[in-house]
């Protein structure tokens, strides 16, 4: 990736060979113009110099052009030193990786020793917990938005991305369903993570002292009973880890955060209460995305995700779902999203004028491998009345919480 990024700053990149290709003019052959070769070498020197600069910057986290958490001034940072005497941060928060942005085109060198996995949020987010569950020895790369994680994989900045797709309490994350269709990445796995919310505060603070609590809106909604009992003001944040970071940097004793225990360790906060969510069973399902699909097998339970749209007509959706039922294939998820290119369909099926109907895309997860003939026959049958059909991925099911 570094080669591709650097080639764009060379004087005449079109004259250079692509990565992995062979340039027959690079060797010394009779009759070559020495002046041309000298100029060409100079150009290559320019490229190599820029490559060296990329390599030197590789280990420096990318600066976020759109920080999701307001920066604090030096006076607040000085106040924070009061609490460092009793309990120091796990690491300086200013040294934590900055989230990648969607327009970031910088890359880092890879020695092949670790898988680089992108996630949305700051260090300590639940998405990072899911990435570490899938790849315990991976190098996690924070991104400020979901789309930035998609682009990081596409631009070869990372190997994988782990993004939430649904929660057992809050439901589906529609933004990521839309991004799955917009981008050409493949689902290669899933992770189910048990979410346990914790109430965090500055060292020495009791939960009864809190007047406000900061967290992601979903986390605030999932802990509504306890927050109402405390009578605190609820303040929204881009993610739970960002809320913990805000409390740690602002050093306001009457403000707490809802985040994970790991976030408390990273940002030097006390855990005032654990497991404060209203529902004990709170599970978030994450998808693992990659540039290339995996080869499906039948050695263990597999799941296949597809998206399709249908031709108009009575009972068409019933027919679409029946292709799985008649082959004894279980559907574990069905989600509909508006077809943005054709949001409305106008039909004239009565004497009273035209009727308007919404057109939809249907996302379906079914429990079968693409290596199973039943899946192939079912999709072949579905194509008979589907206007559009795309397989998003076939991947092993996560059966361990």
Domain ranges (residues) in the chain = 96-104+111-194, 198-276, 294-396
Maximum CA extent, the chain: 87
DSSP character at residue 95: G
Predicted confidence band at 313 (pLDDT cuts at 50, 70, 90)?
confident
pLDDT in tens, 14-49: 333 333 334 433 443 333 343 444 444 444 444 444
Report the DSSP pairing between strands 360-366 and 302-310.
antiparallel
pLDDT in tens, 237-292: 999 999 999 999 999 999 999 999 999 999 999 999 999 999 989 999 999 999 99
DSSP character at residue 278: S
Give the CATH number of domain 294-396.
3.30.70.260
Q: Which of 101, 240, 255, 284 is catalytic?
A: 284
Q: Which of 89, 286, 362, 366 is catalytic?
A: 286
pLDDT in tens, 169-207: 989 999 999 999 999 999 999 999 999 999 999 999 999
Residue 65 predicted with pLDDT over 70: no
| CB contact at 8 A, 287 and 193 | no
pLDDT value, residue 174 = 94
| CB contact at 8 A, 159 and 290 | yes
In 185-305, alpha helices (H):
217-222, 224-230, 240-250, 261-267
Residue 276: both structure tokens together? 């404060």
| CB contact at 8 A, 203 and 256 | no
Whether 150 is a known active-site residue: answer no
CA pair distance 189, 394, nearest whole angstrom: 8
Residue 257: both structure tokens together? 């955060």
| CB contact at 8 A, 254 and 187 | no
Beta strands in 135-246 (DSSP E): 139-143, 160-167, 171-172, 186-194, 198-201, 212-215, 233-236
Residue 266: both structure tokens together? 């990273």
pLDDT in tens, 86-126: 444 545 666 666 665 544 434 444 444 589 999 999 999 99
Q: Which residue did the predictor score with more confidence, 85 or 197?
A: 197
Domain 96-104+111-194 grouped into CATH 3.90.1170.50: no
Q: Quote the pTM value.
A: 0.70
**Domain 198-276 -> CATH class:** alpha beta
Predicted confidence band at 400 (pLDDT cuts at 50, 70, 90)?
confident
3-state secondary structure of 298: coil
The DSSP bridge partners found for residue 353 are 350
Token look-up 């225990």 returns 261
The DSSP bridge partners found for residue 201 are 270
| DSSP per-residue codes, 46-71 | HHHHHHHHHHHHTTSPPPPSS-SSPP
Report the DSSP pairing between strands 233-236 and 212-215.
parallel
Q: Do domains 96-104+111-194 and 198-276 have the same CATH topology?
A: yes
Task: Note the Cα 266 to chain centre separation in Å.
Answer: 21
pLDDT value, residue 352 = 56
Residue 3 predicted with pLDDT over 80: no
List, in order, residues 6 or more apart from 390 with CB less than 8 Å away.
181, 306, 307, 308
List, in order, residues 6 or more apart from 191 with CB less than 8 Å away.
130, 131, 133, 134, 162, 285, 286, 288, 398
pLDDT value, residue 114 = 82
Whether 362 is a known active-site residue: answer no
């Amino acid at each position: 990736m570094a080669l591709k990024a650097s080639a764009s700053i060379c004087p005449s990149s079109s004259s250079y060979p692509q990565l992995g290709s062979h340039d027959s003019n690079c060797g010394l052959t009779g009759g070559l113009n020495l002046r041309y070769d000298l100029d060409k070498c100079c150009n290559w020197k320019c490229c190599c110099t820029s490559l060296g600069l990329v390599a030197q910057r590789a280990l420096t986290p990318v600066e976020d052009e759109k920080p999701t958490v307001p920066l604090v001034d030096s006076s607040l940072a000085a106040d924070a030193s009061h609490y460092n005497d009793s309990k120091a941060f796990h690491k300086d928060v200013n040294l934590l990786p900055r989230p990648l942005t969607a327009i970031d085109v910088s890359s880092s060198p890879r020695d092949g020793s670790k898988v680089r996995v992108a996630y949305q949020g700051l260090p300590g987010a639940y998405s990072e917990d899911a990435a570490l569950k899938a790849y315990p020895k991976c190098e996690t790369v924070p991104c400020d938005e979901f789309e930035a994680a998609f682009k990081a994989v596409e631009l070869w900045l990372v190997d994988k991305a782990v993004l939430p797709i649904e929660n057992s309490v809050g439901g589906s994350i529609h933004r990521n369903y839309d991004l799955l269709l917009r981008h050409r990445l493949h689902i290669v796995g899933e992770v189910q993570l048990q979410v346990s919310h914790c109430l965090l505060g500055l060292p020495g603070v009791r939960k009864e002292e809190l007047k406000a609590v900061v967290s992601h809106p979903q986390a605030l909604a999932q802990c509504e009973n306890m927050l109402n009992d405390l009578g605190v003001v609820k303040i929204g944040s881009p993610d739970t880890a960002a809320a913990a970071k805000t409390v740690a940097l602002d050093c306001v004793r009457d403000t707490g955060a809802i985040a994970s225990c790991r976030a408390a360790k990273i940002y030097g906060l006390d855990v005032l209460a654990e497991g404060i969510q209203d529902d004990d069973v709170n599970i978030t399902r994450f998808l693992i995305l990659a540039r290339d699909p995996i080869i499906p097998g039948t050695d263990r339970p597999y799941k296949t995700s597809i998206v399709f749209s249908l031709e108009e007509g009575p009972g068409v959706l019933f027919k679409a779902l029946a292709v799985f039922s008649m082959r004894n294939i279980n559907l574990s998820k069905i989600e509909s999203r508006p077809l943005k290119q054709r949001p409305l369909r106008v039909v004239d099926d009565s004497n009273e004028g035209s009727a308007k109907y919404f057109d939809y895309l249907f996302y379906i997860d079914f429990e079968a491998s693409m290596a199973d003939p039943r899946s192939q026959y079912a999709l072949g049958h579905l194509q008979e009345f589907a206007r559009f059909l795309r397989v998003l991925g076939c991947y092993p099911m996560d059966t361990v919480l």
